[in-house]
Amino acid sequence: MTNTIEVTLSGQPAAKKWGDSNPISTTVEGYQIHIQQLDERASLPLVQTSSRKIQGLGIDAVTLTGEWTVEQQWAFYLGFVTAKGGQTVVWASDDSELEHRKLAYDWTRNIINLPPQDMYPLALANHAIDFIKSVATGKVEANVIIGDDLLEAGWVGIHAVGRASVHPPVLLSLDYNPTGDENAPIETALIGKGITFDSGGYSIKSSEGMLTMKCDMGGAATVTGALALAILRGLNKRVRLILCCAENMIGGNAFKLGDILTYKNGTTVEIVNTDAEGRLVLADGLFHATELGAKKVIDAATLTGAAMMAVGSDYNAVFGLDKEYVSKGLAAAEVEFEGAWPLPLDKFHRNTCPSPYADTANSRPQKGGGMGGASNAAGFLSRFVTEDGTGWLHFDLAGAFNGSSNAKYSAGATAMGVRTIARLLTED
């Protein structure tokens, strides 16, 4: 056997000496997790919380022994790893799916957890290019538009949000085309919010609210990780990855409250809150996907606190005008054992942030954007896809990051959503 601590699953309750409700007991070799007669799905939270407790004892290397399903092993891994790293899990079974998940998950989590001094817009774009190329050699072409070149190309949202930073804003448009046919249709476009640090701009955040804003590029990391996992699972369709990358900073040339942006599709937007910047950069990415003629469009973003208030940290919020596609997104999450929950979105949400000076404001001039903030943000985004929103899905990543540890996860990124989006890419 190895020199690591062994962890097994038991279908029996722990001995009375461990307490009436303790799911963990020790053995000569290590630990047992007593899932008793729970079915696989019901056992996963117990396995994950138990792994957190085991790692919390200072144990960083384990071998899973005995009978484990793939999902039970993965649940253990999710709870065991930390932002500081250094944990090792030896799988109970030789399964390529576990290794593929680990590769995509670890990249996503590590990229989100990097400090903003290291993860700025161009660095994010380059990391994404390198990662996708590493799993899809010879099938990737990337175009990066930087700084003032964004204005020439018409991407006013990304430019406005990022222009006050010493690190220029970036639009990455990456083409994964395994077909070899340059005329092949784009089956899906993935758009990710890549705000590598969010001060809130002139609508400045509090110190406490700003502390974790390195995570605001979580959408970009999530869709990149999802594409990588889908490729590792055998994706054979053309996908366009679009990352909208910027630092939202304060400076003499920063965008201001009262400014009006005119987007490439003609939509005018009054800025009433510079901290509602994610939707401004995503609008460019969504319209780019529409221009390209992508059959389906999926965006992901750490977009609103309202979504976190609505669904908590165990779910990502899902929106769409195409209710059939929303159902597919929820079904994909169910199969992949990830939390996802639908929140309301109808066409009238496009008009819930009115402006007397422009077609729409980017929010409401109220703390947190007022009531229904997550739906209002999704309604704003819906202006930049097809009129009826067919084939468009919006993930507000409420569960992508934890500011502090909880019973299921260590502090930091969770990568929740990677598996769901990967399945949508391979199943559609």
Burial bucket for residue 300 (CB in 10 Å: 0-12, 13-18, 19+): buried
Pairing of strands 61-64, 188-198: unpaired
Residue type, 192: G
Catalytic pick among 101, 193, 279, 419:
279
Give the separation between CA 216 and CA 207, rounded to whole angstroms.
15
Give the separation between CA 396 and CA 407, rounded to whole angstroms.
22
Residue 313 token pair: 């940290």
Beta bridge partners of 195: 246
Give the separation between CA 37 and CA 35, rounded to whole angstroms.
6
Q: Decide if 383 contacts 366 (C-beta within 8 A).
A: no
Q: Decide if 344 contacts 375 (C-beta within 8 A).
A: yes
Q: Residues in the chain, how many?
A: 428
CB atoms within 10 A of CB 104: 27
Give the separation between CA 124 and CA 111, rounded to whole angstroms.
8
- Residue 419 bears catalytic tag: no
Catalytic pick among 102, 139, 205, 295:
205
Residues 6+ apart with CB under 8 A from 398: 307, 308, 310, 311, 312, 313, 315, 316, 317
Rg (CA), the chain: 22
- Residue 408 bears catalytic tag: no
Distance of CA 422 to the CA centre of its chain: 12
Residue written as token pair 């660095």: 123
Residue type, 3: N
- Annotated catalytic sites, by residue? 205, 279
